[in-house]
Chains A and B, each alone.
Chain A
Amino acid sequence: MESEVNSILFAAHELKAPLSLMRQLAFSLEMAATPQEQAKIRAQIVGVSDRALKQVDDLTKIARLEDGLFELAPVSVRAVCDDVTSELQHLFRFNNRELKIKYSNKSRLVIANRELLFSVIYNFCLNAMHYSGTETRSELSVQDHNGAVQVKIRDFGPALPIDVWRELKRGWLKKPTSIAMRPGSSGLGLYIASKFSRFMHAEVGAIRHRDGTSFFVNLPISTQTSLFS
């Protein structure tokens, strides 16, 4: 019960950050001197609200995972990665960061739910953007790994705290965890990614680097012949 209350408190706290920001952006919109500046601030408000809505949507999905709404089926990993990068590329550029994608295996189908897999990769990428310094590059890579397909996102931010790494090493995050103990962090995003991965029988984990972190998800390969191979 205590853990549930803590999870709710954490989620509420994290979701408050974009609301506070949108409030300030609304004030800024009033003060904008030029139509160009107004357009920029409007785009910022839309971007912040979109990401907050996505997070709320993901939280709703967590509550409904067991309702049979998310069937597992053969999914093209590359197609999902392409969709995620296409959606986030603009945001990375806006924040003076770069998102690179690297495929080092042949195109494969994995057993997953497309919608949930999109959220897992999306949350990992957002986390990488958040924790990478300006003008740094995050790399989304897809490769074969021990009979599975591994989607890995490498960032160049602060090293992952050892306790969070240990928990991830055990397989998944049991509760939203604030990385670096900051309210605006993407700890909630990692928790969401962890829950979705577990539902898809995929394995999540993290690799600590001295200059950043790689988060990965290992997805079971579908035995159905890939249409792309």
Chain B
Amino acid sequence: MIFVIDDDQLMSECITRYLAPRQTAVFSNAIEAMAAINEQTPELIFLDIMLDGPNGFTLLHELASYQDTAKIPIVIVSSLDFSDHELSIYGVVKVLNKDHMTPADIKNSLEFIQNAK
């Protein structure tokens, strides 16, 4: 299962469409996502940073702090520029810029994770 966490419903729909036919679960905020992660560990998370309520960084810290969730690969999908940030310590394997990304970038992220296994 792949988790898509973005408070923009249409953006989540687009990412889910790019990932088809892979099974996805969509969450609009970090709290709902964390509750779902406690129930089921996703194989990959596409995470927006600027979320309503606790933001994506809060979720990254939370996930990194638990042994069982620290290794979940995370792809950040954001309009913010993270080129100067070292995020791999949070399990971030890729950062996609919403302004420039294409469906191929999403699919490639998935392949990247599968090949890394």
Contacts and interface: CB of A to CB of B under 8 A. Distances in A.
A80 interface: no
A131 interface: yes
A48 B10 contact: yes
A21 B77 CA distance: 12
Interface stretch (A52-60, A175-183, A205-213): A175-183
A95 B79 contact: no
B99 A28 contact: no
A150 B101 CA distance: 44
A103 interface: no
A189 interface: no
Given A27-B103, A157-B52, A95 B13 contact: no
Contact of A17 (B17, B53, B79, B103): B79
Interface residues of A, number: 25
Contacts of B10: 21, 24-25, 44, 48
B103 A184 contact: no
Interface string A152-179: 0000011000000000000000000000
A201 interface: no
Interface string B8-23: 1111011001100000
The interface centre, meaning the residue of A13, A16, A19, A28 with most chain B CB atoms within 10 A of its CB, is A28
B79 A183 contact: yes
B99 A20 contact: yes
A31 B50 contact: no
A94 to B, nearest CB: 9
B79 A16 contact: yes
Interface in A1-52: 13, 16-17, 19-21, 23-25, 27-28, 31, 44, 48
B76 to A, nearest CB: 14
Interface of A: 13, 16-17, 19-21, 23-25, 27-28, 31, 44, 48, 95, 131, 133-134, 157-158, 180-184
14 contacts: A17-B8, A24-B10, A24-B11, A24-B14, A24-B98, A24-B101, A27-B102, A31-B18, A44-B10, A95-B9, A158-B52, A158-B53, A180-B52, A183-B50
